[in-house]
Amino acid sequence: MIWLVGAGPGDSGLLTLRGYEVLKRADVVIFDRLVGDGVLAFMPETAEKIDAGKISGSHKITQAEIESLIISRAKSGKNVVRLKGGDPFVFGRGGEEAEAIIRAGLDFEIVPGVTSALSVPAYAGIPVTHRDYCSGVNIYTAHDRDNMIPDFADTTSVFLMGVANSSELQSKLLLTMSPDTPCAVIENGTTSSQRVIRSTLEHLHDSIVNNNVNPPAVIVIGKTSALNLNHCANLPLVNKKIIITRPEGRSEKLSMMLRDLGAEVILLPTIKTSTLHDALDGMKLSGYERIGFTSVTGVNALFEILAEKGRDIREIGNAEIAAIGSATKEALNNHGLKVDYVPEIFDGHHLAEGLAKLGGKILMLRAENGTPEIELVFRNYGINYTNVCIYRIDYVKLFCVPKFADIIIFTSSSTVRGLAENTSSLREALAVCIGKQTADEAVKAGFTRIKIAERADVESIVRACS
């Protein structure tokens, strides 16, 4: 199957649900230069990734070669996603690619994207239509074969890819439009590095040169360009690029809250977990006075193992349940288990210390390669405990690591190590960490700006970022 997918203007939150759904199913992703970092981070780890980005005057792969790649990979039985900035049918050459696919007799689907022609002005507070000012919008490319500019002086005109040709564009528009027509140039629209430069038509080119505007940028010309209805200008995290390193599927609530505060969020899982399905073979869960859980993953792994082995949680008998923090407690509650103990500080050291003071025969269900802190505390207290590893943590090989971030969120020591396995950059970012152990790992990795969330919950992480 082939999908021609519009990736939107840059912010990964503007990728459509259908676009995300099919991207996660891809065996092959052929992507363009203007696809945002956050969208690229959604590409499956196992997918073949082909950079087909084009810069004016320099094409890594010709259009004919791109079409050939799409068709050949699909004919070999692969799910192919052609990932294009904005919308595939708005100056994205999606029409040409669809025609080639049809000629090849292959099935395909168009997944429309949020076009930068409309969304980038909207993010800058510029409505491209407004009944008090104009009744239409023109969308052009300043990069086409003939560069023909129609005369529609009373409507909003949006020009994509016009920075390099801004002098010629300005000259042609001045033939039919007033020099004092409002203009706006929006650079890196919808991302944390968005800039809006406003001027009039007679100063358009100078404003681009004097402000060192670089592509991607959208030029908007017309009366509405003077308006500023920006919904996110006063949000506390506007212009902040935040990377979340939690495992896949664990960041939805955190991402939503950060986006609500204006941040550009990049989901970049640096670790993945896998259940150790034979971990409890031949072992009874009965006979323990307390059972400790160090993560939500551990809770889910236990119930996964019990279900597939035909076993029952009633094996634990009257054992008291301990959770490392509020999220783990909630996961246990969702499985019908009452939690008897949660430490005031949500980390392994304080969980182990609290259990040690309570005493009794203790079972810890945790990660195979988790922090050694728990064992050290139990040994210091001389506690009789059983440590059973029911899942393991592996580092993810990252295909695309952003060159810059304002904040990186680390929820465990392993997420720090996972990032360090992939890159030595990004150390100028503020590292927001859950717990002292994670912060200590961030120091080892070379981060100098570190902030520890008050508690190991989403709300505290968001406060630490703000």
Q: CATH number of the domain that 51 lies in? A: 3.40.1010.10
Residues 405, 345, single domain; the answer is: no
Half-sphere exposure of 264 (CA within 13 A, CB side): 24
Residues 441, 351, single domain; the answer is: no
> One of 1, 49, 51, 54 is an active-site residue; which one?
54
Q: 113, 140, 170 — which closes off a domain?
A: 113
Q: What is the pTM of this model?
A: 0.82
Give the count of domains, the chain: 4
Q: Residue 409 corresponds to which tokens in the numbers above?
A: 């969120």
User: How far is Cα 435 from Cα 449, in angstroms, rounded to an integer?
Assistant: 15
> One of 32, 37, 87, 347 is an active-site residue; which one?
32
Question: Do residues 143 and 240 lie in contact, with contact meaning Cβ atoms separated by under 8 Å?
Answer: no
Residues 92, 194, single domain; the answer is: no
Q: 195, 226, 257 — which closes off a domain?
A: 226
Distances (CA, A) of 123 to 127, 190, 238, 325: 9, 6, 11, 38
- Helix or strand holding residue 333 (H, E): helix 326-334
For residue 51, the SS3 value is: strand
Q: Which residues contact 197 (CB under 8 A, 6 or more apart)?
A: 184, 185, 186, 187, 207, 208, 211, 213
Does 216 sit behind a cis peptide bond, omega within 30 degrees of 0 on the bond before it? yes
243, 249, 156, 206: which is closest to 419 by C-alpha?
Answer: 243
163 within a domain of the structure (yes/no): yes
Question: Do residues 411 and 267 lie in contact, with contact meaning Cβ atoms separated by under 8 Å?
Answer: no
What is residue 347's predicted lDDT score, i.e. its pLDDT?
A: 83
What number of other Cβ atoms are within 10 A of residue 251's Cβ?
Answer: 20
Residues 415, 449, single domain; the answer is: yes
What is residue 234's predicted lDDT score, i.e. its pLDDT?
A: 83
Examine the residue annotation and report whether 172 is marked as an active-site residue of this protein.
no
Q: 198, 226, 254 — which closes off a domain?
A: 226
CA angle 238, 244, 246 (to 5 degrees): 155
Q: Residue 95 corresponds to which tokens in the numbers above?
A: 């029409």
User: How far is Cα 13 from Cα 446, in angstroms, rounded to an integer?
Assistant: 30
User: How far is Cα 262 from Cα 80, in angstroms, rounded to an integer?
Assistant: 33
What is residue 32's predicted lDDT score, i.e. its pLDDT?
A: 93
CATH of the domain at 142: 3.30.950.10
231 within a domain of the structure (yes/no): no
Residues 442, 431, single domain; the answer is: yes
Q: Which residues contact 299 (CB under 8 A, 6 or more apart)?
A: 293, 328, 331, 332, 335
> One of 43, 87, 161, 240 is an active-site residue; which one?
161
Residues 180, 316, single domain; the answer is: no
Residues 73, 9, single domain; the answer is: yes
236 within a domain of the structure (yes/no): no
234 within a domain of the structure (yes/no): no
Residues 391, 406, single domain; the answer is: no
Examine the residue annotation and report whether 161 is marked as an active-site residue of this protein.
yes
Residue-range definition of the domain harbouring residue 222: 118-226
Residues 278, 384, single domain; the answer is: yes
Residues 75, 100, single domain; the answer is: yes
Examine the residue annotation and report whether 32 is marked as an active-site residue of this protein.
yes
235 within a domain of the structure (yes/no): no
Tens digits of pLDDT across the chain (466 residues): 999 999 999 999 999 999 999 999 999 999 998 899 999 999 999 999 999 986 655 567 899 999 999 999 999 999 999 999 999 998 888 989 999 999 999 989 899 999 999 999 999 999 998 989 988 888 887 765 555 565 556 678 899 989 999 999 999 999 989 999 999 999 999 999 999 999 999 999 999 999 999 999 999 999 999 988 888 878 899 999 999 999 988 898 999 999 989 999 999 999 999 999 999 999 999 999 999 999 999 999 999 999 999 999 999 999 999 999 888 999 999 999 999 999 988 888 899 999 999 989 999 999 997 778 888 899 888 888 899 999 999 999 998 899 999 999 999 999 999 999 999 999 999 999 998 889 999 999 999 999 999 888 899 999 999 9
CATH of the domain at 442: 3.40.50.10090
